[in-house]
Structure formats: C-alpha cells, structure tokens
Chain A
Amino acid sequence: MSFLSHLISGISLGSIYAIIALGYTMVYGIAKMLNFAHGDVIMVGAYACFFMVSRYEIPAVVGVLSAVVICTLLGIIIERLAYKPLRSATSLAVLITAIGISYFLQNAAQLLWTSNPKVFNSLMGDGSVKLFDGRLSISVTAIVTIVVCVIIMLALTWFTGRTKMGKAMRACSEDKGAAQLMGINVNFTISMTFAIGSALAAIAGVLLCSAYPILTPTTGSMPGIKAFTAAVFGGIGSIPGALLGGVLLGIIEIFGKAYISTQLSDAIVFVVLIVVLLVKPTGLLGKQVQEKV
C-alpha cells in the first residue's frame, strides 16, 4: 500500500513539474531560448494567490484567476522589456539576461514581501480520500493537481494542433522567416507563448504551494530547475515530452526519497537525467534536429 501511496504522490509532484516544464518547452520551441526566469514567475504567482486569498480573503477561484492574470502580464512584460530587444543577439546573451531576470524577481520579492516564509493554506483544504478500508489515503490536493495537469495537457494539445494561433506557433518554431511571409506576426506569436507559459506558471505556483505550503522568495527556483530538467529529460520543445519527463521525474524523486535516501533524492534525479542524455541526447521524445547549412 505504501508503494501505491508513494506512486500517487510521485505522479502528483510530477504533474506540477510537467506544468512548469511546459512553460520551458514552449518558449524554447518557439523563441529558441531558455527562460530561466520561469521558476520565479511561479513564485510571483504563488505570492499573488497567497495575498489575494489569505490576506484579502477573496474567494479561492477569483484568487487563482487573478494570479493567472498577473503572471500572464508579467510574462508579457518580461518578454517585451528583456528578451525582445535581444531577438537577434547571441543565445548566450539571452541566457544571461534570463538569469538576471530570475535574480531580479527573487530580490524584488524579498524587498516587497520580506524573506520571512509565509504559510500558504492549501486552497483545496486538507481533506483526503480513504481507500481500501483506510489503508490508502490520497489527499485532495494530489487529486486536484493530477486532474488539473491532465486538463491542461488536453487543452494545450488541442490548442497547438487545432487552432490557428497554435498552428502559427508551430510554424514559427519551424521556420520564422517563412511564417512571416504567410502574414503571421512572429513577435505577437512569441508574446503569446510567453503569456501561456506564464499563465501555466501561476497555476503551477498555486498547486506547488498547496502541496508544499512554505512560501519564500526562492520557492520557485528549485522546482524551476527540476522542471527544466524534466523538459530536457522528455525532449525539449516537445509538449508530450514535458508531461512524460515531469511525471517520471516526480516519481523518481519520491521513490528515491522513500526507498533510498531523503538526502540523495535530488542527486538520483540528476543521475537518471545524465544516463538518459548519454543514451538519447535529444531526450525521451525529442526529435533529431539536423541543422541545415
């Protein structure tokens, strides 16, 4: 029974990683950049929700929605101010800028909200579902997390596959020049990608802090790095890859914690990543990219 319970909490943690990894993978797919500030957008989303719900006692649904709106705007602003001027710059310059934005957000949060940890009350309450005569108990938070992740995946697959904006995104990720000649506004498409990624980050922030209720200005950085790992693990640029990578990473981490060593669980995660990349350098679902010269 403990195995099942670990598996479920692994999938639940992995779902959060998957939602964050989507932000990394979509932005990478289209703008070909690693947005290392993504993890800190999660933190901003969590704080926004925390203040709305715990301080101003706004209904939880409205709190989450306003966190989504705030993060979406933040994502668009970051892209416009920091990344857009560097569109034709080297990828290293953009990478360093992203790291700079990450530190900026962390320090701004420290300045605004102090570094004292805040206790985030789970929006889903602390109830749980008991199965097998109470031998297996699954928290409501875990169930909601998994369901939300599945809904987001289905919606996003539909969006990229079937709508004109989604197709424009895929076109931009393949050939920006040709997309422009189809009359597609590439800058707007990139902005929209950041908006979607940041909206997902807000949801991930709320879910993360519902499961692990301590909120500090650096809350987002470690999950951000792990989700980036998940994106690479699954094959960066691939949406199903982000899901697979995220869930596998979550399960490995929880099993590592439960059966091997609590201290070593992060190391185990990265060892698995290294092994996978040695065998399959493009990640589990990544495509072989051949650069044309």
Chain B
Amino acid sequence: MNNPREETKYVPQPATNLIPERELGKQLILEAHNLGIDFGGLTAVEGFDLSVSPTEIIGLIGPNGAGKTTVFNLLSKVYQPTRGTILMNGRDTMGMSTAQMNRAGVARTFQNIRLFNNLTVEDNIKLGLHNHIKYGMLSGILRLPNYWKQEKEAKERVTELLSIFSMTHMAPFRAGALPYGAQRRLEIIRALATGPKVLLLDEPAAGMNPSETSELMENIVKVRDTFQIAVVLIEHDMNLVMGICEGICVLNFGKIIAKGTPSEIQNNPVVIEAYLGRQKEDGQNAES
C-alpha cells in the first residue's frame, strides 16, 4: 500500500488492561494500539500498546532516551504516528491536529516548562479555557453583554482552578516571574483548564525536593479524584511512581519491556536489567 496510514484502520482488539484484577469498567478512555514512529530511518517508538481507564493513574518509566516523551508527543498528536492507532473514548483519532486532540480530551505538561512567560498567571489559565469561553470576535471588540458574562465566568473558573493548588494570590503575576515549583503547578492547572479526560504529565517532579515531591503526589491524586480524570505520567522519581501509580509501563529503546502493578515491576528481572545492567554469569553485579 502506498499510504502507510491506510493500514492503521482500527480493528477492535481485546484491551490489555494493566491491572486485570481491578474492575475498571468496559469503557476505556484512551487506547493506543501498536503505536510506532520513525524519524527518517530511525525507529523511535515501536509496537506501543496502552489502555487507560477513566480515573486510572499510570506511570511511564524507562532509562533516558527510551522514547517516553516521544510517546507523549504521539498521544498528544504533536507527532503523527507512522504506524498504529490511538483511540480516544473509543473513537479513532487518525488525522487529528494537536488542537483537535486537546479538544477531544488530552492535555499535557512539558518536561521543560512551556508557559506563556509574558502573560499573567490568569491569562495563561484563560488560554487553557480558550475553547470553553464562547463569544465571537465582534462581541469581544464591541464588548457586548455576552463578552462580559463569559469573561466573568472564565474569571471564576480561573480562581476555582488556582485554589486547588492554593495559588489564588498569584493570579495577577507574570508567569515567567513565578518560582520554579509554582510554574510547574501552573502548567498542570493550565492543562486542567482545557477540560481534559486524560492528563499527561511529563516529569512533574523534576527539580523538586522530597517534601515538594510528596506534596505533588497528594495533589496528583487530589486532581484525579476531583476531576475524575485519568493521569499518565513520566517520572524518574521512583518513590512518586511506586507511590501513586496503579499501573506502570516500562519502556526501553522505544519498546515496552514490562507492564504491571508497582510490585510486579519492582521485582521484574528485565526491568532491573534495563536500569542497572546485566548480572555477570557468576552472579556478581556488573557494576561491582
């Protein structure tokens, strides 16, 4: 076939839930089937399968360069996959743009924070609300009643979102002037403002100290419970991953090498090998 995309028509497959013993319901919110992407001749991700149920917290781990962020870029349609299907709420997302994927319910944060630094905290969140504020350009310029009503509602929503992370007092500040931890939290709030069903967090705890990390863990669970959304996170902090994730997926060299619950992953020899290296024949660790 000439067009590789045509091969990727969705064929219903039995979903492979990460935690079979838990009753997760029939409906999956986000599914990836046999996802892959090539950059030129280089295969960055190959045969990636993932099933995310509503309100599930999933961890995506793996050594540096394993393709974790690439998977996020595929799931948020920053890259169009070379192979495979992504289903959102059971619907094929083929050909969707990044913005459309966001409207379909996938929001994300970035490994290196990408806030709109010159805009205020409030405006950053209002940009997240972009598709939920409904007034035309004309009523915006002419300041018709609908404009005031919608902007007032948006403002209330901003305050509500900020209060989750107790950041209400920061609303008028310039986003670029916030301290690092607050910027990370703001990025999560901004993603939440888009009204996602799945939140992708790319290294949310990067650069945080242990007490900030444990606060973040509580907040992630709180966000999940309040908004009833699924969370997929990339993280190197194993305390965080093992602490809050219900399912873990381990990537190495662009392929899934293990899937399971935190305890299964911790004892999986393949995972240990990927992280620590192979043990020598005589049983001694290669590092020692």
Q: Which residues of A contact B (CB under 8 A)?
A: 155, 158-159, 162-168, 170-171, 174-175, 177-186, 192
Q: Give the interface SS of chain A, mostly helix, strand, loop or mixed.
A: helix
The chain A residue with its CB closest to the CB of B176 is A174
CB pairs A–B below 8 angstroms (8 shown): A162-B151, A164-B126, A168-B130, A171-B127, A177-B78, A182-B128, A183-B103, A185-B99
Tell me the bound Cα distance from A162 to B137 in angstroms.
11
Q: Decide: A181 and B135 in contact? CB cutoff 8 A.
A: no
Q: Decide: B127 and A165 in contact? CB cutoff 8 A.
A: no
Contact of B130 among A155, A175, A184 (CB under 8 A): A184
**Residue from B99, B133, B137, B194 having most chain A Cβ neighbours under 10 A:** B99
Q: Decide: B107 and A181 in contact? CB cutoff 8 A.
A: yes
Q: Decide: A182 and B194 in contact? CB cutoff 8 A.
A: yes
Chain B residues with CB under 8 Å of A178's CB are 110, 114-116
Q: Decide: A164 and B133 in contact? CB cutoff 8 A.
A: yes
The chain B residue with its CB closest to the CB of A292 is B112
Q: Decide: A182 and B190 in contact? CB cutoff 8 A.
A: yes
B90 CB within 8 Å of chain A: no
| Interface size class of chain B, counting residues whose CB lies under 8 Å from the partner chain | 20 to 34
Q: State the Cβ distance, A149 to closest chain B Cβ, in Å.
A: 17
B255 CB within 8 Å of chain A: no
Chain B window 123-150, contacts with chain A (Cβ cutoff 8 Å), 1 for yes, 0 for no:
1001110110101010011010001000
Q: Decide: A165 and B137 in contact? CB cutoff 8 A.
A: yes
Chain B window 97-118, contacts with chain A (Cβ cutoff 8 Å), 1 for yes, 0 for no:
1110011000110100011111
Q: Decide: B99 and A167 in contact? CB cutoff 8 A.
A: no
Q: State the Cβ distance, A194 to closest chain B Cβ, in Å.
A: 14
With A164-B130, A168-B130 in contact, is A181–B116 under 8 Å at CB? no
Q: Which 9 A-B pairs have the closest CB atoms?
A: A163-B140, A183-B102, A180-B98, A178-B114, A183-B131, A164-B133, A174-B116, A183-B103, A171-B127
Tell me the bound Cα distance from A186 to B98 in angstroms.
10
Q: Decide: A181 and B78 in contact? CB cutoff 8 A.
A: yes
Residues 65-110 of B at the A interface (beta carbon under 8 Å): 76, 78, 97-99, 102-103, 107-108, 110
Chain A residues with CB under 8 Å of B137's CB are 163, 165, 192
Tell me the bound Cα distance from A177 to B116 in angstroms.
11
Chain A residues with CB under 8 Å of B140's CB are 159, 162-166
Q: Decide: A181 and B102 in contact? CB cutoff 8 A.
A: yes
With A166-B140, A181-B98, A182-B194 in contact, is A171–B116 under 8 Å at CB? yes
B258 CB within 8 Å of chain A: no
Q: Decide: B130 and A182 in contact? CB cutoff 8 A.
A: yes
Q: Give 9 new A-B contacts, CB below 8 A, not counting A163-B147, A167-B127, A182-B190.
A: A171-B116, A171-B119, A174-B117, A177-B98, A178-B116, A182-B99, A182-B102, A183-B99, A185-B99
Chain B residues with CB under 8 Å of A170's CB are 116, 118-119, 123
**Residue from B98, B143, B194 having most chain A Cβ neighbours under 10 A:** B98
Chain A residues with CB under 8 Å of B97's CB are 180, 185
Chain B residues with CB under 8 Å of A174's CB are 116-119
Q: Decide: A163 and B130 in contact? CB cutoff 8 A.
A: no
Tell me the bound Cα distance from A167 to B137 in angstroms.
12
The chain A residue with its CB closest to the CB of B113 is A178
Chain A residues with CB under 8 Å of B110's CB are 178
The chain A residue with its CB closest to the CB of B134 is A164
With A167-B127, A178-B110 in contact, is A184–B99 under 8 Å at CB? yes
Chain B window 176-198, contacts with chain A (Cβ cutoff 8 Å), 1 for yes, 0 for no:
00000000000000110010000
Chain A residues with CB under 8 Å of B147's CB are 163
Contact of B114 among A164, A168, A177 (CB under 8 A): A177
Chain A residues with CB under 8 Å of B131's CB are 183
Q: Decide: B194 and A164 in contact? CB cutoff 8 A.
A: no
Tell me the bound Cα distance from A120 to B194 in angstroms.
51
Chain B residues with CB under 8 Å of A158's CB are 141, 143
Chain B residues with CB under 8 Å of A181's CB are 76, 78, 98-99, 102, 107-108, 191
Chain A residues with CB under 8 Å of B126's CB are 164, 167
With A164-B133, A167-B119, A174-B117 in contact, is A183–B141 under 8 Å at CB? no
The chain B residue with its CB closest to the CB of A166 is B140
The chain B residue with its CB closest to the CB of A192 is B137
